[in-house]
Amino acid sequence: MTSTPNPRITIVGYGSQGRAHALNLRDSGFEVTVGLRPGGPTELKARADGFAVQPPADAVRDAQIVAVLTPDMVQPQLYGEVIEPNIAQGACLLFAHGFNVHYQQIAPRADLDVVLVAPKGPGALVRREYEIGRGVPAVYAVHQDSSGNAGQLALAYCAGIGGARQNAIKTTFKEETETDLFGEQAVLCGGATKLVQAGWETLVEAGYQPEVAYYECLHELKLIVDLFYEGGVTRMHEFISETAQYGALTRGNYVVDDNTRAQMRKVLAEIQDGTFARQWIAEYAAGNANYKALKQADLDHPIEQVGQRLRANMKWLSASPQPAPAAEPAEAAA
Using an 8 Å Cβ cutoff, are 39 and 59 in contact? no
146 is in an annotated binding site: no
14 is in an annotated binding site: yes
81 is in an annotated binding site: no
Can you state the angle between helices 289-299 and 275-285, rounded to 10 degrees? Answer: 100
28 is in an annotated binding site: no
184 is in an annotated binding site: yes
Q: Is 97 a catalytic residue?
A: yes
Residue among 21, 97, 102, 143 flagged as catalytic: 97
216 is in an annotated binding site: yes
Nearest to 178 by CA among 113, 275, 71: 275
105 is in an annotated binding site: no
For residues 117 and 141, give the distance between their C-alpha atoms in angstroms, rounded to a whole number: 7
318 is in an annotated binding site: no
231 is in an annotated binding site: no
180 is in an annotated binding site: yes
42 is in an annotated binding site: yes
129 is in an annotated binding site: no
Q: Which residues are catalytic?
A: 97
Please report, in range form, the residues annotated as the binding site for substrate: 241
Please report, in range form, the residues annotated as the binding site for NADP(+): 14-17, 37, 42, 123
Please report, in range form, the residues annotated as the binding site for Mg(2+): 180, 184, 216, 220
Please report, in range form, the residues annotated as the binding site: 14-17, 37, 42, 123, 180, 184, 216, 220, 241
